[in-house]
Chain A
Amino acid sequence: MNFGNILLMMFSAILVENFIFAKFYGCCPFLGVSEKPDTALGMGMAVTFVMTVSGAVTWVVYECLLVPFGLEYLQTVAFILVIAALVQFIEMFLRKFIPALYNALGIYLPLITTNCAVLSAALLAVQKSYSFIEAVCFGFSAALGFTLAITVFAGVRSRMQNADPPRAFKGFPLTLITAGLLAMAFSCFSGVKL
């Protein structure tokens, strides 16, 4: 795969096959941590960080540990362990060496282990038999798509806080319907010819 193809793949991962609006990976944090734009952006950045690193590490684990021993079926167990350990490690590393970044992202880090976007990016990279570079780029761009989605959505939600919907729609239902409208907007990208 050459550079152009990688760019195409990244474009497609960000917009056309957006993790939230087309694939539903990572919907829990998307719906849960999107009340304010700045927290949403923080979450998005933390996810981007973890997904890029985990894209690299899970690729190495899969190709250098699981494949040689014929243990491909253990990939789910291995990947989730790697991701959990990685998140823990990144948290400790940031706290010790980059406190500013830790203060910005720290509270979101523990939530990322159970963000299915991270695990599914790792599993998808294996399924599509990406090379190392592709796997890292895929993780990074899928996470960028997630960040884009959650930030845009938080912007919309912050405007909705003063709205007065019917009582039954208050809170979660209205949030979901708004997400549905955004998903409709994003579905335009599925017509883009790549």
Chain B
Amino acid sequence: MSKEKKKTTVTKNEAGSAKKNFWQAAVVGAKLLLICAIVAGVVSFVYALTAEQYAINMQATKNEAIGEIFGLSAPKCEALPAEGLEIEETVFKVYDGDTHVGYCVEVKSGGFGGDITMMVGYTADCTVLGVEIVSMSETPGLGSKAGEAPFLSQFAGKTDTLTLGEDVDAISGATISSKAVTEGVNQAFQSLQNVLSLNGGAIR
């Protein structure tokens, strides 16, 4: 570093102003680039260090949600192929040991504070078994109630496309969050139908 600096001072004294400006700019640019490179390196290092744990966390939260819905401590999931379908959802076939207990759809829906990621569990004949929130950033005490049992339990036993206010009661003061969850469940149902028909499974 100090060497670089010395160089600039030498050039400053000897060369004309154009050349001097060029050198100064070059040194400034080089220093900034060096800082950027070091920062990127450090961040990449931390990323490499933590990536595995992050993946484990994500999987753990999802498994926990599926386990919660099906009442299993260690559910086994198998993602169903959805090639050719333009859907963002992932549909899982859920097993308890070797018995097929139902399906689960991971779905994202835009809420008030950002995307709400949730798991919708279905029995083998496509009736909603339960809904669990994987991640949400709704207003605590308000929108966050759309992720709690009193609201979510309304979905159990439903089969068709749902309408907020008719099939499901919205939380007062948190219409956007309630709507987001309901739409997510509808989206999940749609995707489940599509994926199952693609895989030659049961269609209602």
Q: Which residue numbers of A lie inside 8 Å of B, CB to CB?
A: 17, 22, 71, 73-74, 77, 81, 124, 127-128, 190-191, 193
The answer to whether A73 touches B112, judged by C-beta atoms less than 8 angstroms apart, is no
Asked if A74 and B40 sit within 8 Å, CB to CB, the answer is yes
B90: shortest Cβ distance to chain A, in Å?
15
B176 on the A face (CB < 8 A): yes
Number of A-B residue pairs with CB-CB distance less than 8 Å in the complex they form: 23
Query: Does B114 contact A77, Cβ atoms closer than 8 Å?
Result: no
The complex places the Cα of A127 from the Cα of B36 at a distance, in Å, of: 24
CB of A9 to closest CB in B, whole Å: 10
> Could you tell me if A127 and B40 are in contact, using CB atoms closer than 8 angstroms?
no
Q: Are B115 and A77 in contact (CB under 8 A)?
A: no
Asked if B110 CB lies within 8 Å of chain A CBs, one says yes
CA distance A128 to B175 in the complex (A): 21
- Are A77 and B40 touching (Cβ within 8 A)? yes
Evaluate contact between A190 and B115: CB separation under 8 angstroms. no
B43 contacts chain A at the CB level, 8 A cutoff: yes
Q: How far is the CA of A77 from the CA of B115 in the complex (A)?
A: 23
Pick the residue among B39, B112, B175, B176 that contacts A77 (CB under 8 A): B39
Which residues of B are found within 8 Å of A17, using beta-carbon distances?
112
Q: Nearest chain B CB to A126's CB is how many angstroms away?
A: 12
The reply to whether A128 and B115 contact each other, CB–CB distance below 8 Å, is: yes
Most chain B CB neighbours (cut-off 10 Å) among A22, A73, A127 = A73
**Docked-complex contact A128 and B43, CB < 8 angstroms:** no
B175 in contact with A191 (CB, 8 Å):
yes
Instruction: List, in ascending order, chain A residues with CB within 8 A of B110's CB.
Output: 128
CB pair A127–B175 under 8 Å, yes or no, is no
Q: Are B43 and A73 interface neighbours, CB within 8 A?
A: yes
Instruction: Give Cα A77 to B46, complex, Å.
Output: 14
